[in-house]
Amino acid sequence: MKFKRERKQGSVKVSDLLIAWFEEHHRDLPWRRDYSPYQIWIAEMMLQQTQVKTVLPYYHRWMKRFPDIQSVALASAEELLKYWEGLGYYLRVRNIHETAKILVDRYSCELPPDYSQIRALPGIGAYTAGAIMSLAYNESVPAVDGNVKRVFSRFFNITADINSSANLKFLWSKANELMPAGRAREFNQALMELGALICVPKNPACTVCPVVNQCESFKLDVVDARPVRRPGKKITPIEVSLGVLVNQGKVFIQRRPENGLMGGLWEFPGGKIEVGEKPEDALLREFSEELGIEVNCAYKIAMIRHSYTTFRVTLHAFLCRPQDPAQEPQLRAAVKCRWVTIQQLEQLAFPAANRKLIQMLQKRKFKERVAFNAQSAR
């Protein structure tokens, strides 16, 4: 078979070239200092679907507040969520909490150095288990993430859909085959790092790649055409109305159910605008349907654009007042609610678009209007 032979450049193995390159060029990342299993686990959870530069400030704040597994297990879900606010894919932080409690109860506060046991923990898939086993324990387990998939698709000139199950099997077996004995930590990171720094999606720096001489797609001049992917999911535009309901100097917020998109986060009430509906009308309808109250829209605060997963959201935010200030909202979709001051919004975790809105509310003009029950907007 074409790739069965050991890949060598002269007499030097590909893995040696990659490791030598990694040792010289790797980024100084905080989880690469002492490779503590706890730090590797948290870093890998944060790095799922998220870039290193986005993760870094979150990682530093997290480690300052939660220096070990026990501190995570003892924290409230609400506090953990606040430390995750803005990173997205909030199920990850709930899984971290669950895992920390399991580690305290069953594994003497440690990540077990055993692939099957790690793989069975909440939120840990094959890649994350491989990364923990290899980076923290230097065990010879492959870790094929998005970067490694791209590197291999070019190196082996893979023309099949990169994410097909047959191809994924092939990639994992190649990673296993190339793995040098006793160097899993450096080898897996060298592949990830090559994908992050050299073999990048656009304009890869092939001239300085340590394994360019064996790269099949470079030889054939098809690097830019790899990886091959099935067309992705379509982007769906949605329009949403959202209300900052003000009463007696406080604003109304509600909490999303634990299980589901952005589970456990706080939000302002509102919902999707139906076809042909005006944003204000959608909001009055949502308040009536979801909270059983009638409100007046005082004025539009902002229009915010935001993207998540495959959605492009346009959010119309209004300042609202209850028609009957004595009537309490009844929760029909949310699980909890509170009336809070604008300052208190700071302490709770909100989805990114709500957070943008809060930043606007913190401007003096809005603070004053909320304090005066938005009377000034009449």
| Shortest spacing between CB 75 and ligand ADE, in angstroms | 24
Q: For residue 169, how many other CB atoms are within 10 A of its CB?
A: 10
Phi, psi of 74 (to 5 degrees): -85, -15
User: Which residue, 20 or 52, is less far from ligand ADE as judged by CB?
Assistant: 52
Q: Which one of the spans 42-50, 209-217, 343-351, 368-376 is the region binding ligand ADE (CB under 6 A)?
A: 42-50
User: Which residue, 43 or 317, is less far from ligand ADE as judged by CB?
Assistant: 43
User: Which residue, 135 or 175, is less far from ligand ADE as judged by CB?
Assistant: 135
Contact status: 47 vs ligand ADE (CB under 6 A) = yes
Residue type, 44: E
User: Which residue, 41 or 350, is less far from ligand ADE as judged by CB?
Assistant: 41
Active site residue 258: no
Distance of CA 247 to the CA centre of its chain: 35
User: Which residue, 48 or 241, is less far from ligand ADE as judged by CB?
Assistant: 48
* Pairing assessment for the beta strands 12-13 and 236-247 based on DSSP bridges: unpaired
Contact status: 52 vs ligand ADE (CB under 6 A) = yes
Q: Which one of the spans 43-51, 164-172, 228-236, 310-318 is the region binding ligand ADE (CB under 6 A)?
A: 43-51
Q: Look at phi and psi of residue 40 and say left if phi exceeds 0, alpha if psi is from -120 to 50, else beta.
A: alpha
Q: Answer positive or negative: Cα dihedral of 351, 234, 259, 79.
A: negative
* Pairing assessment for the beta strands 311-322 and 295-308 based on DSSP bridges: antiparallel
6, 23, 24, 44: which is the annotated catalytic residue?
Answer: 44
Q: Which one of the spans 40-48, 107-115, 209-217, 219-227 is the region binding ligand ADE (CB under 6 A)?
A: 40-48
Residue nearest to ligand ADE (CB): 47
Contact status: 345 vs ligand ADE (CB under 6 A) = no
Q: Which residues 165-204 are close enough to bind ligand ADE by CB under 6 A?
A: 192, 196
User: Which residue, 73 or 190, is less far from ligand ADE as judged by CB?
Assistant: 190
| Shortest spacing between CB 114 and ligand ADE, in angstroms | 20
Q: Which one of the spans 44-52, 220-228, 288-296, 309-317 is the region binding ligand ADE (CB under 6 A)?
A: 44-52
The residues, ordered by sequence, that sit 6+ positions from 281 with a Cβ below 8 Å of its Cβ are none
Contact status: 126 vs ligand ADE (CB under 6 A) = no
Phi, psi of 165 (to 5 degrees): -65, -35
Phi, psi of 116 (to 5 degrees): -65, -40
User: Which residue, 197 or 353, is less far from ligand ADE as judged by CB?
Assistant: 197
The residues, ordered by sequence, that sit 6+ positions from 287 with a Cβ below 8 Å of its Cβ are 243, 245, 269, 293, 294, 295, 320, 329
Instruction: Report d(CA 212, CA 358) in Å as an integer.
Output: 49
Phi, psi of 15 (to 5 degrees): -65, -35
Distance of CA 11 to the CA centre of its chain: 42
H or E element, residue 20: helix 14-25
Q: State the virtual CA torsion across 50, 225, 169, 21 in degrees, nearest 10.
A: -70
Contact status: 253 vs ligand ADE (CB under 6 A) = no
Instruction: Report d(CA 143, CA 154) in Å as an integer.
Output: 17
User: Which residue, 8 or 27, is less far from ligand ADE as judged by CB?
Assistant: 27
Respond yes or no on whether the N-terminal peptide bond of residue 227 is cis (omega within 30° of 0).
Answer: yes
With CB under 6 A as the rule, give the number of residues binding ligand ADE.
10
* 258 close to 349: Cβ distance less than 8 angstroms: no
Phi, psi of 186 (to 5 degrees): -75, -40
Q: Which residues 140-159 are close enough to bind ligand ADE by CB under 6 A?
A: 145
Q: Which one of the spans 9-17, 39-47, 165-173, 293-301 is the region binding ligand ADE (CB under 6 A)?
A: 39-47
| Shortest spacing between CB 14 and ligand ADE, in angstroms | 20
| Shortest spacing between CB 127 and ligand ADE, in angstroms | 8
| Chain residues that interact with ligand ADE, rule: CB under 6 A | 29, 43-44, 47, 52, 131, 135, 145, 192, 196
Active site residues: 44
